[in-house]
Amino acid sequence: MTWMDLWKLAARNLQQRKLRVSLNLVGIVLGCTLVLMTAAGTAGVETAFQVLFDSSEFAREIEVRPSYGSHRQPPESEIQVSERIPPARRQRLREELTKAWQNENRTEFDYRIQPSQMDDLARIPHVIRVVPDFYLGCTVDTSTWMRAQDDLSETAVVALDVEQSVAERRLVAGRLAATESRQQDLMISELLAYQMGFATDAELQQVLGQPLTIRFRAQSGKMHSLNWLVSEQGVDYDLQTQLAGSIDKLVDNLDATELSEAEQMLIRRFAEAVLPSGGTQDVYQSRSFTICGVLRSEGKDMNLSSMFREFIGATDADLMIHHLAARELLRAQPDNTSLYGVKVVVDSTRNLRAAEESIKQLDLNAHSALWAWDRIEHQIQTVGTVIYALAAAVLLMAAVGISNTLFISVVQRTKEFGILKSVGMKDRDVLRLMLCEGVLLGAAGALLATLLSMLLAVCGRGLLSMYVNYRANTDVQGVFFELGPLSIAATWAFAIAVSTLASALPAWRASRLDPVVAMRQE
Amino acid sequence: MAPAKMSFPLAPPVSDSLVDIQSLSKCYSTSHTELAAVNELTLTIPRRQRVAIVGRSGSGKTTLLNLLAGLDQPTRGRITVNGHQLDQLTRSQLADYRCRQVGVVFQSYQLMPQLTALENVELPMTLAGTGRRLRRERALAALERVELSQRAAHLPSAMSGGEQQRVAIARAIVHQPALILADEPTGNLDSATAGTVERLLLETENLESTLILVTHDMALAERFGQRLITMQDGRIAADTTR
Ligand SMILES: Nc1ncnc2c1ncn2[C@@H]1O[C@H](COP(=O)(O)OP(=O)(O)O)[C@@H](O)[C@H]1O
Ligand SMILES: [Mg+2]
């Protein structure tokens, strides 16, 4: 019997038993659709997150913090733990001892990033920007062009990453600080402009191009430590000055008191600590800028990509300067500008891990959204695996069902096989006929499942992107429910394999039937 | 479109006889007794003879016919048809024997319900791997012989019993087998329809085949056969040739 005639007869047999075939098809289609949608959904979610992650400018940022001494390794003798303790606990104890040693041996430098280290960071491959987390308290002087206003005097300057697209969106008037004119350009907040009396768009235009001088303490004077010590207690500045005078007087006249030599020594040391010798007055510096733009606060204008945002540095302040200008300012004022953090931006999320490693080599701490990404990916994969297992269970049940109905149908078709054999059908052809039916059934199921999945994918994609775009205020079209050719091919292979294998046993049984026995069946 | 090659060698006929049955027995053992449906039966039938086998119900006619058709295996003895000793054939060769050497008409038609009359008639040739065109041509000719050309595209369920049996006759003669076997072919039909079927069977006379008809109807057997064999308890009780 030729293959052509076999396939035709198989198709005819399936056509004849519509109800049973439809029932089998439902099983295959459900199973396959579930698997396909699972594959598409899981891959889609993963791709969507990858796209979001890669396109998020925040995800390319690394928060750099001082080491706090954690880079320093204690000598072995300091963390020696008795050999009698079980290894796991010994390891824990060694770690605790290391931490304790690091705490004790921490220096003042471990709390700071040195301004020179920003250049080291900038030299790391793939690093495109280094933005200092920098906060400079200052007073504002606009007396050349407007009446002085008391409540504006105490404020601060921060560094703004002007290359971040969020910065552009915050512009209310004017432009962002430009790299070429970074030493002059200054951006002010919408609030400060309002407090200065500029509210309407037209008024804001008047602010642009105006000079603004800031005055900041370049070197702390004698009062600094005392101020730091007692201001918390609500001692105001005038009283502090009096207190400083009294302490000075006390130290000068210690000989006249009845205090012992040792007691006098103690008081001298205390006085030196809170009122170090040197100039009594703080040293101030001024810098003049030109207002180039007015920015609103970052506010709630967030999109899904900001889920990868690490909260580095002050973003909202009255005065903002170009991040490169901030770096230069820091370099020029090494003594009194403490740098508690730096934001490093790399060119692509793919280079995050390598850059993080390089930063750690500089004895600094590094954090990025990678840890969140790793967790998300792990979660997606875990959920995916569970759903795949469920889908496989459904297919397995479908396979058992198919095999069951095929078996029953062979029993019911015993007489038919008897007739076929009585007119000369060979065992081999009976077997092949049944397998052909299995393949056709599987292929039909896979075809229907593919079509159904495509339909579902289109609906699902539409709904999901509508939801995501609404919720996340971002456009992630066509990423969800991608039906890959690989998963479609795998589904076809699986469906055909299942229904063929399910047919195999009943097929073999049918092929062994004796024609007289078979034909006697009614 | 030559017919596909046979998968066993054609032994040259040893004698003039087409069918040679030697001490053939078929026993059925039930829980207590052993029943010989065919009992030590010896018979030879020459080519192109028309034989009628009669006997009461249960005398072993159907059993003998099934053995001859290669549908059943004997307990003892030997059947040789057209030079092929049936007990020496493999299952596959036996299938080839069934679709090339014999044509069987059963009492209850035994047509494939999902195939049209034409496809049912084509079936032995389809199974033998005969080409489509030749198959169609011969099947139409066979349907013509049983006067059913106009019903070629109908399914068995759309046909009367008599028409179905005529399709079965067409299927049995279409590949011009050496041996045609008919087991009570009119048993399920009313007398008028039976007459037509009988006439059509008799017309196979001009084919180059040997025809064996089994019936319990003595009158039909006498109308039909050149040779009349009477069976009783699995043996031949009488064998007369006219
Ligand atoms: N499969 C079988 N199992 C047991 N006994 C059988 C079987 N087939 C036939 N027989 C017995 O064999 C005898 C001959 O049957 P059969 O050849 O059908 O007779 P006929 O066709 O002449 O009526 C009967 O007694 C019948 O009961
Ligand atoms: Mg009978």
Q: Looking at the structure, do residues A386 and A508 belong to the same domain, yes or no?
A: yes
The dihedral region occupied by A174, where left means phi > 0, alpha psi between -120 and 50, and beta the remainder, is left
Range(s) of the domain holding residue B217: 48-73+101-241
Q: Is A92 an interface residue toward B (CB < 8 Å)?
A: no
A393: Cα separation from own chain's centroid: 34
The residues, ordered by sequence, that sit 6+ positions from A52 with a Cβ below 8 Å of its Cβ are: A304, A305, A307, A308, A474, A476
| Closest residue of chain B to A17, computed from CA coordinates | B114
Q: How many domains does chain A have?
A: 2
Residue B43 placed within a domain: no
Contact present, B52 and B225 (Cβ < 8 Å): yes
Q: Looking at the structure, do residues A387 and A267 belong to the same domain, yes or no?
A: no
Q: Is the CB of B63 under 6 A from ligand 1?
A: yes
Q: Looking at the structure, do residues A378 and A516 belong to the same domain, yes or no?
A: yes
pLDDT of residue B42: 94
Range name among A32-41, A236-245, A452-461 with the lowest pLDDT average: A236-245
Contact present, A438 and A409 (Cβ < 8 Å): no
Residues of chain B with Cβ-Cβ distance to A513 below 8 Å are: none
pLDDT range class, residue A129, cuts 50, 70, 90 = very high
Residue A313 placed within a domain: no
Shortest distance, CA B25 to any CA of chain A (angstroms)? 17
Residue B10 placed within a domain: no
Does the pLDDT value for residue A376 go beyond 90? no
pLDDT of residue A236: 73
pLDDT of residue B8: 47
Residue A64 placed within a domain: no
Residue B205 placed within a domain: yes
* SS3 of residue A37 by DSSP: helix
Q: Which of A130-139, A207-216, A259-268, B165-174 has the highest mean pLDDT?
A: B165-174
Q: Is A6 an interface residue toward B (CB < 8 Å)?
A: no
CA of A516, closest atom in ligand 1: 1
What does the angle CA A478 – CA A484 – CA A489 come to, to the nearest 5 degrees? Answer: 155
Q: Is A310 an interface residue toward B (CB < 8 Å)?
A: no
Q: What is the mean pLDDT of chain A?
A: 82
**Two tokens, residue B40:** 């030590």
pLDDT of residue B74: 93
pLDDT of residue B135: 93
Residue A135 placed within a domain: no
- Look at residues A511, A53, A87, A127 and name the one whose alpha carbon lies nearest to residue A306: A53
| Closest residue of chain B to A5, computed from CA coordinates | B126
pLDDT of residue B1: 41
| Closest residue of chain A to B113, computed from CA coordinates | A416
pLDDT range class, residue A506, cuts 50, 70, 90 = confident
DSSP string, chain B: -PPPPPSS--PPPSSSEEEEEEEEEEEEE-SS-EEEEEEEEEEEEETT-EEEEEE-TTSSHHHHHHHHTTSS--SEEEEEETTEEGGGS-HHHHHHHHHHTEEEE-TT----TTS-HHHHHHHHHHHHT--HHHHHHHHHHHHHHTT-GGGTT--GGGS-HHHHHHHHHHHHHTT--SEEEEESTTTTS-HHHHHHHHHHHHGGGGSS-EEEEEES-HHHHHHH-SEEEEEETTEEEEEEE-
Higher pLDDT, A226 or A32: A32
Q: Is the CB of B28 under 6 A from ligand 1?
A: yes
Q: Whose CA is nearest to atom 24 of ligand 1?
A: B58
Does the pLDDT value for residue B166 go beyond 90? yes
Inter-chain contacts counted by CB atoms under 8 A, chains A and B: 70
Distance B85 CA to ligand 1 centre (A): 24
Q: How many domains does chain B have?
A: 1
The residues, ordered by sequence, that sit 6+ positions from A372 with a Cβ below 8 Å of its Cβ are: A307, A308
Q: Residue B127: which of A12, A423, A516 has the nearest Cβ?
A: A423
Q: Looking at the structure, do residues A389 and A259 belong to the same domain, yes or no?
A: no
One-letter amino acid for residue A209 of the chain: G
pLDDT of residue B6: 45
Shortest distance, CA B241 to any CA of chain A (angstroms)? 30
**Distance (Å, whole) CA B89 – CA B71:** 12
pLDDT range class, residue A460, cuts 50, 70, 90 = confident
Does the pLDDT value for residue A223 go beyond 80? no
Contact A423 B124 (CB under 8 A): yes
ipTM of the complex: 0.90
pLDDT range class, residue B188, cuts 50, 70, 90 = confident
Last residue of a domain, one of A281, A299, A321: A281
Residue B4 placed within a domain: no
Last residue of a domain, one of A281, A310, A333: A281
Higher pLDDT, A507 or A436: A436
Residues of chain B with Cβ-Cβ distance to A10 below 8 Å are: none
Q: Looking at the structure, do residues A495 and A387 belong to the same domain, yes or no?
A: yes
Residue A202 placed within a domain: no
Residue A213 placed within a domain: no
Strands B84-85 and B76-81: antiparallel
pLDDT of residue B24: 94
At CB < 8 Å, which residues of chain B contact A?
A: 66, 69, 71-72, 91-92, 95-100, 104, 106, 110-115, 123-124, 126-129, 171
Report H helices in A146-260. 165-170, 190-195, 201-207, 223-230, 237-252
Other CB atoms within 10 A of residue A174 CB: 19
Tokens 């690091």 label which residue? A102
Could you give the percent of chain A with pLDDT greater than 70?
Answer: 88
Q: Is the CB of B62 under 6 A from ligand 1?
A: yes
What does the angle CA A212 – CA A216 – CA A218 come to, to the nearest 5 degrees? Answer: 140
SS (H, E, C) A340-366: CEEEEEECCHHHHHHHHHHHHHCCCEE
Last residue of a domain, one of A232, A247, A281: A281
Does the pLDDT value for residue A148 go beyond 60? no
Q: Is the CB of B66 under 6 A from ligand 1?
A: no
Residue A182 placed within a domain: no
pLDDT of residue B236: 93
Does the pLDDT value for residue A83 go beyond 90? no
DSSP string, B45-103: EETT-EEEEEE-TTSSHHHHHHHHTTSS--SEEEEEETTEEGGGS-HHHHHHHHHHTEE
Residue B203 placed within a domain: yes
Provide the chain A residues 15-74 that lie in CB contact (below 8 A) with chain B. Answer: 15-16
**Ligand whose nearest atom lies closest to the CA of B30:** 1
What would the pLDDT profile of A311-358 be if each residue is shown by its tens digit? 555 556 889 999 999 888 888 765 555 677 888 999 988 899 999 999
What would the pLDDT profile of B87-98 be if each residue is shown by its tens digit? 999 999 999 999
Q: Is A412 an interface residue toward B (CB < 8 Å)?
A: no
Does the pLDDT value for residue B177 go beyond 80? yes
**Ligand whose nearest atom lies closest to the CA of B107:** 2
Residues of chain A with Cβ-Cβ distance to B71 below 8 Å are: 421-422, 514-516, 519
Q: Residue B66: which of A421, A429, A516 has the nearest Cβ?
A: A516
Distance A513 CA to ligand 2 centre (A): 21
pLDDT of residue A167: 85
CA of B65, closest atom in ligand 1: 17
Does the pLDDT value for residue B152 go beyond 90? yes
Q: Is the CB of B37 under 6 A from ligand 1?
A: yes
pLDDT of residue B32: 83
pLDDT of residue A391: 73
What does the angle CA A308 – CA A309 – CA A314 come to, to the nearest 5 degrees? Answer: 175
Q: Residue B95: which of A9, A418, A426 has the nearest Cβ?
A: A426
Shortest distance, CA B94 to any CA of chain A (angstroms)? 8
The residues, ordered by sequence, that sit 6+ positions from A245 with a Cβ below 8 Å of its Cβ are: none
Residue B173 placed within a domain: yes
Range(s) of the domain holding residue A418: 3-56+374-520
Does the pLDDT value for residue B222 go beyond 80? yes
| Closest residue of chain B to A421, computed from CA coordinates | B95
CA of B183, closest atom in ligand 1: 21
Could you tell me the CATH number of the domain that includes residue B220? Answer: 3.40.50.300
Residues of chain A with Cβ-Cβ distance to B171 below 8 Å are: 423
| Closest residue of chain A to B115, computed from CA coordinates | A12
Residue B88 placed within a domain: no
pLDDT of residue B79: 95
pLDDT of residue A48: 74
Does the pLDDT value for residue B5 go beyond 50? no
Residue A306 placed within a domain: no
Contact B95 A427 (CB under 8 A): yes
Does the pLDDT value for residue B44 go beyond 50? yes
